[in-house]
Amino acid sequence: MESFSYLSVLLSIVLGLAITQVLQGFRGLILARQTWFFGAVFGSVFFSLAKDLALYGHLPGQIDSMFLSIFGVAAIVAAITRQEWLHKLLAPTMVLLFLLYIALLFARL
Protein backbone atom coordinates (compact mmCIF):
# COMPACT_ATOMS: atom_id res chain seq x y z
CA MET A 1 0.00 0.00 0.00
CA GLU A 2 1.04 3.53 -0.60
CA SER A 3 1.61 5.90 2.26
CA PHE A 4 -1.49 7.85 1.20
CA SER A 5 -3.64 4.74 1.72
CA TYR A 6 -2.24 4.25 5.22
CA LEU A 7 -2.82 7.90 5.98
CA SER A 8 -6.42 7.79 4.75
CA VAL A 9 -7.14 4.71 6.88
CA LEU A 10 -5.62 6.38 9.92
CA LEU A 11 -7.60 9.56 9.29
CA SER A 12 -10.82 7.52 8.97
CA ILE A 13 -10.18 5.83 12.30
CA VAL A 14 -9.45 9.12 14.04
CA LEU A 15 -12.58 10.75 12.60
CA GLY A 16 -14.70 7.75 13.62
CA LEU A 17 -13.43 7.96 17.18
CA ALA A 18 -13.96 11.73 17.29
CA ILE A 19 -17.54 11.43 16.08
CA THR A 20 -18.19 8.75 18.70
CA GLN A 21 -16.89 11.04 21.46
CA VAL A 22 -19.02 13.96 20.26
CA LEU A 23 -22.17 11.82 20.16
CA GLN A 24 -21.50 10.42 23.63
CA GLY A 25 -21.09 13.96 24.93
CA PHE A 26 -24.35 14.99 23.27
CA ARG A 27 -26.07 11.95 24.79
CA GLY A 28 -24.83 12.92 28.24
CA LEU A 29 -26.00 16.49 27.74
CA ILE A 30 -29.49 15.37 26.71
CA LEU A 31 -29.83 12.91 29.58
CA ALA A 32 -28.60 15.47 32.11
CA ARG A 33 -31.24 17.96 30.94
CA GLN A 34 -33.86 15.53 29.70
CA THR A 35 -36.83 17.27 31.32
CA TRP A 36 -36.05 20.57 29.61
CA PHE A 37 -35.18 18.97 26.29
CA PHE A 38 -38.26 16.78 26.03
CA GLY A 39 -40.38 19.58 27.47
CA ALA A 40 -39.23 21.73 24.55
CA VAL A 41 -40.13 18.90 22.15
CA PHE A 42 -43.59 18.67 23.70
CA GLY A 43 -43.91 22.47 23.55
CA SER A 44 -43.16 22.48 19.83
CA VAL A 45 -45.84 19.82 19.28
CA PHE A 46 -48.32 21.81 21.38
CA PHE A 47 -47.60 25.06 19.54
CA SER A 48 -47.92 23.29 16.20
CA LEU A 49 -51.43 22.17 17.14
CA ALA A 50 -52.27 25.59 18.61
CA LYS A 51 -51.00 27.34 15.46
CA ASP A 52 -53.48 25.49 13.26
CA LEU A 53 -56.26 26.15 15.72
CA ALA A 54 -55.45 29.88 15.88
CA LEU A 55 -54.85 30.43 12.16
CA TYR A 56 -57.48 28.17 10.62
CA GLY A 57 -60.02 27.81 13.42
CA HIS A 58 -59.70 24.02 13.61
CA LEU A 59 -57.20 21.35 14.46
CA PRO A 60 -55.09 19.90 11.64
CA GLY A 61 -56.20 16.89 9.65
CA GLN A 62 -56.48 13.41 11.08
CA ILE A 63 -53.02 12.24 9.96
CA ASP A 64 -51.29 15.39 11.26
CA SER A 65 -53.12 15.22 14.58
CA MET A 66 -52.30 11.52 14.97
CA PHE A 67 -48.58 11.98 14.35
CA LEU A 68 -48.37 15.08 16.54
CA SER A 69 -50.18 13.24 19.34
CA ILE A 70 -47.74 10.33 19.10
CA PHE A 71 -44.77 12.73 19.18
CA GLY A 72 -46.27 14.56 22.17
CA VAL A 73 -46.93 11.39 24.16
CA ALA A 74 -43.43 10.09 23.36
CA ALA A 75 -41.92 13.39 24.56
CA ILE A 76 -43.84 13.23 27.84
CA VAL A 77 -42.84 9.61 28.42
CA ALA A 78 -39.19 10.41 27.63
CA ALA A 79 -39.25 13.42 29.96
CA ILE A 80 -40.56 11.51 32.98
CA THR A 81 -38.53 8.31 32.65
CA ARG A 82 -34.81 7.82 33.12
CA GLN A 83 -34.75 4.26 31.77
CA GLU A 84 -31.90 4.10 29.27
CA TRP A 85 -33.45 1.19 27.33
CA LEU A 86 -36.60 3.22 26.73
CA HIS A 87 -34.61 6.16 25.35
CA LYS A 88 -32.65 3.76 23.14
CA LEU A 89 -35.95 2.39 21.83
CA LEU A 90 -37.68 5.76 21.42
CA ALA A 91 -34.88 7.49 19.52
CA PRO A 92 -34.83 5.31 16.38
CA THR A 93 -38.58 4.76 16.56
CA MET A 94 -39.26 8.50 16.53
CA VAL A 95 -36.77 9.07 13.70
CA LEU A 96 -38.48 6.43 11.57
CA LEU A 97 -41.91 7.78 12.48
CA PHE A 98 -40.78 11.32 11.62
CA LEU A 99 -39.51 10.15 8.21
CA LEU A 100 -42.83 8.40 7.59
CA TYR A 101 -44.66 11.58 8.60
CA ILE A 102 -42.62 13.64 6.13
CA ALA A 103 -43.19 11.08 3.38
CA LEU A 104 -46.94 11.18 3.95
CA LEU A 105 -46.97 14.98 3.94
CA PHE A 106 -45.09 15.13 0.63
CA ALA A 107 -47.25 12.39 -0.87
CA ARG A 108 -50.24 14.72 -0.54
CA LEU A 109 -48.55 17.58 -2.40
Work out the percent of the chain whose per-residue pLDDT is above 90: 3
Q: Is the pLDDT of residue 50 over 70?
A: yes
Query: Looking at this protein, which amino acid is placed at residue 32?
Result: A
Average pLDDT on 17-32 reads 70
Separation CA 66–CA 56 (nearest Å) = 18
What pLDDT score does 6 carry? 67
Distances in Å between the Cα of 68 and the Cα atoms of 44, 71, 76, 95, 101 are 10, 5, 12, 13, 9
